[in-house]
Structure 1
């Protein structure tokens, strides 16, 4: 129990450093300053941080800045060069290399794909349309209720991979049959945003584990299969809510938005990732 309290204390202290990075991605985050904030000596801080976060401080700063870059590119109001400078890169070439490692595609390709995605959503099938012979871009499915082992995410959506890593560590050698993400409210609404990394597992978990049981109610969902890196998930979900849903004959239901990860970034390239996005819906009430 003592070692577990120490581990939780270390995570809480490292979380302060992560929060400082997320709050001001473009600040000069010196190791000494972050160590002081987390109440560690600079000599030990980089080792503790890497063991808790699963990456170096520099990697977290890079990840958060590149997540900011995806938002700027998605908005489409700045050129690739302007975005590169805005997130701290001295040249578009250096930015393109880093962005490619982060998302699996170039900034220009990402920007064009996001633009096409918004346009493509306008052409997605609406409720009652006849689309014989074509695979529907949005499927309407009825999902049963399920109970998942879940770990609540703390902080910006840019650091969600940290929470999934922690959940994998908590799982140890236990069987994982499915991997999920569950979002309550939008990432932009930081005051009420709740996200859980979750897994379906038939094995028992220790009662004193940090992992909790998350009950997902059954019901009707609009399902869209996203092909590509996880950095596209927020834009795709937003497009479905803003573009597809209003003319679909459905309205959003009061259940979490789900991400069903069909494969793993540890086994395939970003372009080969497949994620089902599940929007909770119900029939629109007559006005």
Structure 2
């Protein structure tokens, strides 16, 4: 990862400038392999946080933005060039004519061949494109400026030794993994009375297929804990964290993440560290109503 420009703090304007630089790079390199690692490196953000910052500021995931940018270019190529539809499809990173046509039709409301044939029949025709209902024009992209309140504090944490189970798949299914971890530790008498339940989430569900999502489901333990079976041991690093409080059901956590990364972070002067965020579950969902649940989202920050 590139080293970020030396600075004690980062302003809202710099957050937006970094994202604008990334957007410009995408526009100028649509033929390139625009991976998460490449774009995060370009913007001087950790891959762990780049996708959330991009989504919260731009209003869509970077993958969705790249896909639309390539489709927008394909639209122009269909009108202004003699490239075959297959060549245009391959340039847009689709492996087949059929997959390109399907995606193009979903985005614009008509097929590539319909567009090309209509323009050939009458070069002065302009298709009536509906850019509402999930098919916005690239010109509609704007930086996220709406202020959304989120309760945030800055904390310096000591290292947290944890036992954990790796969860693969839908994050809404981590409850079963938590139950298995807690039952196993309780049976082995390895869970202290003051144990903390937390989850470390390595992937953003907006940018990763559900079946590939990775999370470490954790319970704090003593530092001399010995891993066994499929239960591992790790230490959540000490350091400075911005902590946002989410009050309510877990399925609404995304709203707090968006406010945290899209509204609070660019105004805070802080930069995230190269470390995934984690959640501490202050209340027990087994004994607490969903609307009363309290979750603390910990964003590791420099400093």
Q: TM-score, normalised by structure 1?
A: 0.48
Greater Cα radius of gyration, structure 1 or 2: 2
Q: TM-score, normalised by structure 2?
A: 0.46
